[in-house]
Amino acid sequence: MNTRAIKTVLAIWEREMYEYMNNLHVNAMRLAVEPLLFIFIFGMGLGNRVDMGNVSYVEFLAPGILFMVVTNNSYMTISMRLMIARDWDKTLVNALTAPVKPFEIVLGYIFAGVTQALAASVIFILLIYYLLGISFGCIPLLVLFIVATAAFFSSLGVAIAMWLDNPHHLMVVTSLVVMPMSFFCGIFIPVTDLPEWIQPVIEAIPLTKAVEGARAIALGTDPYLLQNLIYILIFTFAVFLVGIHIFKKKVIT
């Protein structure tokens, strides 16, 4: 990657972050309020009736909700922003008329998704720590999982946004694919509590590996941290390549 390519990636990243900061009041509401609602309603309300053994339900739930935050702040924002850039204000075409390569633009969007997910995660971790006294364990290790998962979901956001021609379909895909992922991938209930036939499918989804990894870091329950991380990174790379392929196909006719 040469200097020009790095400058392009940073230019796209900076622009996306500038927009993000311009809408900080809206983003802050989403960052703080939404995950806390889940923690309070499910964790502290419903959670009092759930027996998780030697940990409280809210302690079990917090690492899962953290990765729901990561998903929302990478997949949702990047897919929406890219679709707006392509179909609504059409700034994507304009970016492509500059001396840049398509994959540099994609990389810029993914970096922005990772940064936004990381910022949202830090806010969530601090809120949960100071409000409920729940710790997430080794933070540097957790950050690796957050970055890898955010990169995966940002790449998925690129691939899906560019694959779909109709903006309305983005909501359908989100409702039918991404939302169920949140419910099944071990965020609210352990994967082992799901029907046996579906468990291998759920275990194969990178989000499950991320939630299990985060829970292991917080609660010390899973010894396969490195394997989980590598698994997520392999999927990230594969989805990134698919995203680039669809992006090129759609923007350069």
Partner 1 sequence: MIEVKELVKNYGEHTAVDGINFRVRKGEIFGFLGPNGAGKTTTLNILAGLSLPSSGTAIIAGQDVTKHPIGCKKRLGIATQDSNFDHHLNIKDNLFYQGLLYGLSRKELKRRVEDALRWAKLENYRKKRFHQLSGGMQRRLVVARAMLSDPEIILLDEPTTGLDPQSRRQVWMYIKDLKEKGKTVLLTTHYMEEADILCDRISIIDHGRIIACGTPDELKRILDNDILIDISLNPEVISEHIEKDLNNMSGVNYVKRSNHGIKIGVGDDSVVEQVLNSIITKNKINGINIIHPTLEDVFLHLTGREMR
Check binding of 98 to partner 1 (CB under 8 A).
yes
Check binding of 250 to partner 1 (CB under 8 A).
no
Check binding of 165 to partner 1 (CB under 8 A).
no
Best CA proximity match to 13, nearest among 2, 21, 25: 21
Check binding of 249 to partner 1 (CB under 8 A).
no
Q: Which of these segments, 12-20, 40-48, 67-75, 200-208, binds partner 1 (CB under 8 A)?
A: 12-20
Assess contact for 53 and 59: CB atoms under 8 A. no
Candidates 48, 94, 166, 227; binder of partner 1 (CB under 8 A) is 94
Between 55 and 96, name the residue whose CB sits nearer to partner 1: 96
Check binding of 135 to partner 1 (CB under 8 A).
no
Using CB under 8 A as the criterion, what x/- string covers residues 27-66 for binding partner 1?
----------------------------------------
For residue 111, give the 3-state DSSP assignment.
Answer: helix
CA 101 to chain centre: 25
CA angle 218, 222, 223 (to 5 degrees): 115
Assess contact for 148 and 155: CB atoms under 8 A. no
Say how many CA atoms lie within 13 Å of 196 toward its Cβ: 0
Check binding of 25 to partner 1 (CB under 8 A).
no
Is the sign of the CA dihedral 184, 190, 193, 197 positive or negative? positive
**Which residues are at the interface with partner 1 (CB under 8 A)?**
3-4, 7-8, 11-12, 14-15, 18-19, 22-23, 88-91, 93-101, 251-253
